[in-house]
Structure 1
Amino acid sequence: MAVAARLPRRRLETILAQLAPEVEIHAVRGPETGLVMVRGRIGGGGSPFNLGEATVSRATVRLSTGEIGHGQLLGTDRQHARLAAILDALFQRGDHQAAIEAFIAEGERDLAEADRRQAEETAATRVDFFTMVRGDD
């Protein structure tokens, strides 16, 4: 689900068009957008506190063959959440598992590469500060 949520929606549309263009899909819930409270802790063992709210979108679908899939992601792209739910439901079918696993593995590689590039770009702008101790002579 993490990979499906982070990949661009067009990639999900492409794989779903290839895998199951004829599958009938019924909405169970949503797609809908709402807010969730994000909680945090100072350090690893501090008391929990409410950090703020985050916008999320979610969807639940049922395929005509009975499988139920759930999709959820940060942001307001309800169609993306619906596509992720369809991918989740199709993964439960034995005839699509290998293709979806290959798609997810490729997506993980692409996301890791994008993260690496972002880290390199960020590191290029890094400034190291140091403090020089002055003596009172």
Structure 2
Amino acid sequence: MTSARRQRILALTPRERLAEQWARLGITPDYRCVRGPEVGMAMVRGRMGGTGNAFNLGEMTLTRASVQLMNDGVATDADTELGHGWVKGRDTRHAELIAVVDACAKRREWQADIEEGLVAPLEQALDAERHEQAQRAAATRVDFFTMVRGE
């Protein structure tokens, strides 16, 4: 699984569910915050009809964090153990948790556990919720048709 896909799934998952699933894995890394977590703004861009010229739609609140894993209280030198997390809104704990998961997923000994025990179940839950919402919306769908007059 790519890092971008993992980041997307973790950001879309509610923090409580993510924290619960993370605790079940039993991975408790020692880490330090390199940046943040900090709240800021990001410009959201749009396109007319999805294909037109891009324009600035507005700003949204964004929280980001970066963490570095530690080995026996000492920061590692490798950039491979640096994790980043972004989430919409002001939930600093969510952004920090995503960054920790991202950093841990770069260690070979935890990579499979994170992908199979954390990200895959969260992705399935998101897909199930999306499917349920689609079914609820489909139940309200109205099909219009034109009757031909018999002249």
Q: TM-score range by the shorter chain?
A: 0.7 to 0.9
With the length of structure 2 as denominator, give the TM-score of the two structures.
Answer: 0.79
Match of 1:19 in 2: 26
Match of 1:82 in 2: 96
Distance 1:76 1:132, change over 3 A: farther
- Whole-angstrom distance in 2 between the partners of 1:55 and 1:94: 34
How far did residue 132 of structure 1 move? 7.7
How many matched pairs? Answer: 133
Amino acid at match of 2:30: E
Match of 1:125 in 2: 140
Q: Which runs of 5+ in 1 are unaligned?
A: none
Q: Which runs of 5+ in 2 are unaligned?
A: 1-6
Question: Counterpart of 2:11 in 1: which secondary structure?
Answer: helix
How far did residue 88 of structure 1 move? 0.1
Question: Counterpart of 1:26 in 2: which secondary structure?
Answer: strand
Q: Does 1:54 align with 2:68?
A: no
Bigger share in helix: 2
With the length of structure 1 as denominator, give the TM-score of the two structures.
Answer: 0.86
Question: Which whole-Å deviations, capped at 9, do the CAs of 1:12-64 have from their partners, x for residues lacking one?
Answer: 3234333322x221011111111111111113432111111111111000110
Q: Which runs of 4+ in 1 moved over 4 A?
A: 129-134
Cα RMSD (Å) of the superposition? 2.0
Kindly indicate whether the alpha-carbon contact (under 8 Å) linking 1:38 and 1:54 is maintained by their aligned counterparts in 2: yes
Match of 1:108 in 2: 123
Match of 1:6 in 2: 12
Amino acid at match of 1:96: W
Identity %: 48
